[in-house]
């Protein structure tokens, strides 16, 4: 699956999607001395002229000089391409990825949901594809301005066809080493599919309910009915994962509930998209897991209802705000 990546500290990184996630982790890598190239869209001119500001619980900093682009064909080939686009824009990857990925490079998918690595595999061919599960509270609050509120660890796993577990590969160790140098805590997932289902334990209830209920995470957890609903959704996710031979222990569900209850008041990424009239990441976060449940005939009535509600809301967004959904 490709040749070995370059030695530590010499790896170059491309950030496809310089928002709350890609912008934060890319900025941390550049701050640590790595060569980083950022693809931007709406705030390209702002960041080019004024830099990137990061307000973080790990320490505030500003990068005054960055390698920024608004066209992938102007970017150099990089050893590692970090994809942090919203999954609603994954159709663009067929044109965005090939120009910036070295033949011996790797792609790291820092995206929510299920099935994103499978989407990228036909585009990049026989190269290393990694999935990254980000447990982080980070928002893009203005042009060139990211606010990192809490957490920040990434769980890394390498993808193989049909999500066969690959264990801890040399590529995983290489990229994790770079992230650790940048001050980003990392963990390894020997089984990427299990890691994806574990992330969905959190993402399905809190992203979905935050939009349907128009609520922050703390508001969801402080109400006995919606806390119970969150737990019930988590158990449905766990049942689907079990049907694919991925067991999620009861202790993990309790851990996610406890973490969220203690978390600073947080507006989820899907709620931010809703507030800004942007398309919602429904399919990757809720729709694909729902289809996985249907394929195994696992009843998930609450996930099904959440999916229907989110699609209604998403249709309303597109009808009322067509200019922001393109």
Catalytic residue among 199, 255, 302, 320: 199
Q: Are strands 67-69 and 52-56 parallel, antiparallel or unpaired?
A: unpaired
What are the CA-CA distances from residue 312 to residues 119, 212, 215, 303, 308 (Å)?
25, 10, 18, 14, 6
Q: Write out the two tokens for 188.
A: 């390894």
State residue 87 phi and psi, 5-degree precision: -65, -15
**Nearest Cα to Cα of residue 135 among 197, 59, 202, 86:** 202
Has 199 been annotated as catalytic?
yes
* Number of CB atoms found within 10 A of residue 91's CB: 10
Q: What is the torsional sign of CA 121, 122, 124, 126?
A: positive
Q: What is the dihedral of CA 264, 249, 132, 95, to 10 degrees?
A: -110
Q: What is the largest CA-CA distance in the chain?
A: 54
Q: Decide: 64 and 39 in contact? Cβ < 8 Å.
A: no
Residues with catalytic roles: 199
């Amino acid at each position: 699956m490709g040749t070995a990546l370059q030695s530590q500290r010499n790896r170059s990184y491309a950030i496809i999607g310089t928002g709350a996630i890609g912008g934060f982790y890319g900025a941390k890598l550049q701050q640590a001395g790595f060569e980083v190239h950022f693809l931007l869209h709406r705030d390209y001119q702002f960041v080019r002229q004024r830099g990137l500001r990061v307000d973080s619980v790990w320490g505030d900093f500003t990068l005054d000089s960055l390698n920024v682009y608004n066209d992938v064909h102007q970017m150099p080939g990089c050893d590692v391409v970090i994809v942090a686009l919203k999954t609603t824009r994954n159709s663009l990857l067929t044109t965005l990825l090939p120009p910036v990925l070295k033949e011996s490079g790797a792609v790291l998918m820092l995206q929510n949901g299920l099935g994103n690595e499978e989407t990228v595999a036909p585009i990049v061919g026989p190269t290393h594809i990694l999935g990254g599960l980000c447990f982080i509270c980070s928002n893009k609050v203005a042009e060139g301005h990211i606010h990192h509120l809490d957490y920040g660890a990434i769980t890394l796993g390498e993808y193989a066809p049909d999500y066969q577990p690959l264990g801890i590969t040399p590529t995983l160790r290489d990229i994790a080493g770079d992230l650790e140098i940048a001050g980003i805590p990392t963990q390894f997932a020997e089984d990427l599919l299990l890691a994806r289902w574990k992330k969905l334990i959190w993402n399905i209830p809190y992203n979905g309910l935050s939009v349907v209920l128009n609520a922050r995470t703390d508001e969801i957890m402080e109400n006995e009915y919606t806390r119970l609903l969150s737990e019930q959704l988590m158990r449905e996710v766990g049942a689907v994962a079990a049907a694919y031979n991925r067991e999620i222990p009861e202790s993990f569900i309790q851990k996610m509930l406890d973490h969220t209850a203690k978390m600073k008041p947080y507006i989820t990424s899907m709620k931010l998209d809703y507030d800004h009239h942007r398309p919602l990441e429904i399919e990757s976060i809720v729709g694909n897991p729902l289809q996985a449940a249907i394929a195994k005939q696992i009843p998930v009535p609450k996930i099904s209802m959440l999916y229907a509600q989110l699609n209604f809301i998403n249709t309303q967004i597109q009808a009322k705000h067509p200019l922001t959904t393109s």
